[in-house]
């Protein structure tokens, strides 16, 4: 790695999360990508997020892909007219919750939350859009009825799952509920890795986060605990998740019925 490349990387990926995420993925693809220099790879990442389907055995990137990056560096260093940031991963999420989330994670000294940040940066744009919609809906509902509302994302390669809670409960109760929910969802999805965060519905700031990272093993006790959990919804990217359907189902739950989160407790004693 030459000094000029390091300068460009630090200039464009000017947060620890973005920089380290790129370095990690660049190493992961070290045997796949062929190019005359490193700049085309960085430029491709800035435009498209560095990711390739497993069906590819070799990828060759030409030098002309760096045009936008060249213009951005000249605009920053020499003052020429042009975009100082190439269109792509650094611009597409501007003004969204996802951008604020990544920025917040950059300033949190929590290994679990930082690990989540790396996973989030590997998601595709459609999934990020779903997260933006989901968090907005969770906040709206929590502020409306002063209850906890949650959303779970799962079923991605190299990403076990993520459960988001949104509430103003006291920290002890909120943390206990999130841990329990994540344990149940992790088990029901047969995942080795699971993340959870709790958000303040007023500010959408992270109250706390956690990570459950251990191999999945079958348990009769957990089988029984998860038998009444709501089944995951298959998302059609064109429409996104059906929040209205989920909400209608939730409203029909009786106070003395088993809580749909799978805790085994009555609804009135758990998520109500």
pLDDT digits (tens, 9 = 90+) for 71-108: 999 999 999 999 999 999 999 999 999 999 999 999 99
**CB-based contact 86:68 (threshold 8 Å):** yes
pLDDT, tens digit, 9 for 90 and up, residues 185-231: 999 999 999 999 999 999 999 999 999 999 999 999 999 999 888 77
Report the pLDDT value the prediction gives residue 110, as an integer from 0 to 100: 92
Report the pLDDT value the prediction gives residue 248, as an integer from 0 to 100: 44
Give the H or E element holding residue 224. Answer: helix 220-226
With bands split at pLDDT 50, 70 and 90, how would you rate the model's confidence at 249? very low
Are β-strands 149-156 and 159-166 bridged in parallel, bridged antiparallel, or unpaired?
Answer: antiparallel
Q: Which residue has the higher pLDDT, 257 or 200?
A: 200
Mean pLDDT to the nearest integer, 249-256: 60
Report the pLDDT value the prediction gives residue 265, as an integer from 0 to 100: 72
Q: Residue by residue, what is the 3-state secondary structure of 171-214?
A: HHHHHHHHHHHHHHHHHHCCCCEEEEEEECCCCCCEEEEEEEEC
Q: Which residue has the higher pLDDT, 265 or 260?
A: 265
How many Å separate Cα 189 from the centre of its chain?
A: 17
Asked if residue 41 has pLDDT above 70, the reply is: yes
With bands split at pLDDT 50, 70 and 90, how would you rate the model's confidence at 54? confident
Residue partners of 56: CB distance under 8 A and separation at least 6: 32
With bands split at pLDDT 50, 70 and 90, how would you rate the model's confidence at 160? confident
* Residue of 160, 159, 138, 158 whose CA lies nearest to 147: 138
Q: Which residue has the higher pLDDT, 246 or 124?
A: 124
With bands split at pLDDT 50, 70 and 90, how would you rate the model's confidence at 250? very low
**CB-based contact 153:138 (threshold 8 Å):** no
With bands split at pLDDT 50, 70 and 90, how would you rate the model's confidence at 21? very high
**Mean of per-residue pLDDT scores for the chain:** 89
Report the pLDDT value the prediction gives residue 1, as an integer from 0 to 100: 64
Which of 39-43, 183-187, 225-229, 261-265 shows the lowest mean pLDDT across its residues?
A: 261-265
Buried b (16+ CB within 10 A) or exposed e, 152-170: bbbeeeebbbbbbbbbebe
- Rounded to an integer, what distance in angstroms lies between the CA atom of residue 272 and that of residue 262? 13
| pTM of this structure | 0.83
Q: Is 109 left (phi over 0), alpha (psi -120 to 50) or beta?
A: beta
pLDDT, tens digit, 9 for 90 and up, residues 233-246: 666 555 566 666 55
How many Å separate Cα 92 from the centre of its chain?
A: 15
Report the pLDDT value the prediction gives residue 129, as an integer from 0 to 100: 92
């Amino acid at each position: 790695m030459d000094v000029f490349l390091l300068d460009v990387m630090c200039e464009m990926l000017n947060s620890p999360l973005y920089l380290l995420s790129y370095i990690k993925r660049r190493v992961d693809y070290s045997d796949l990508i062929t190019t005359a220099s490193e700049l085309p790879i960085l430029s491709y990442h800035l435009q498209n997020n560095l990711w390739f389907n497993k069906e590819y055995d070799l990828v060759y990137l030409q030098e002309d892909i760096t045009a936008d990056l060249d213009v951005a560096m000249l605009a920053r260093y020499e003052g020429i007219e042009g975009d100082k940031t190439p269109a792509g991963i650094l611009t597409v999420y501007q003004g969204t919750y996802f951008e604020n989330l990544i920025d917040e994670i950059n300033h949190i000294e929590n290994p679990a939350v930082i690990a989540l940040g790396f996973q989030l940066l590997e998601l595709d744009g459609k999934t990020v859009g779903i997260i933006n919609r989901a968090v907005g809906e969770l906040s709206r509902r929590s502020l409306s009825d002063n209850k906890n509302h949650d959303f779970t994302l799962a079923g991605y390669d190299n990403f076990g799952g993520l459960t988001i809670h949104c509430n103003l409960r006291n920290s002890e109760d909120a943390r206990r509920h999130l841990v329990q929910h994540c344990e149940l969802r992790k088990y029901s999805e047969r995942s080795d890795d699971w993340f959870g965060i709790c958000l303040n519905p007023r500010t959408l700031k992270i109250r706390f986060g956690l990570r459950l990272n251990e191999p999945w093993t079958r348990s009769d006790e957990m089988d029984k605990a998860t038998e009444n959990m709501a089944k995951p919804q298959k998302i059609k990217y064109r429409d996104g998740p059906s929040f209205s359907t989920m909400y209608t189902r939730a409203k029909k739950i009786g106070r003395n019925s088993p809580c749909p989160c799978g805790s085994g407790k009555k609804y009135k004693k758990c998520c109500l």
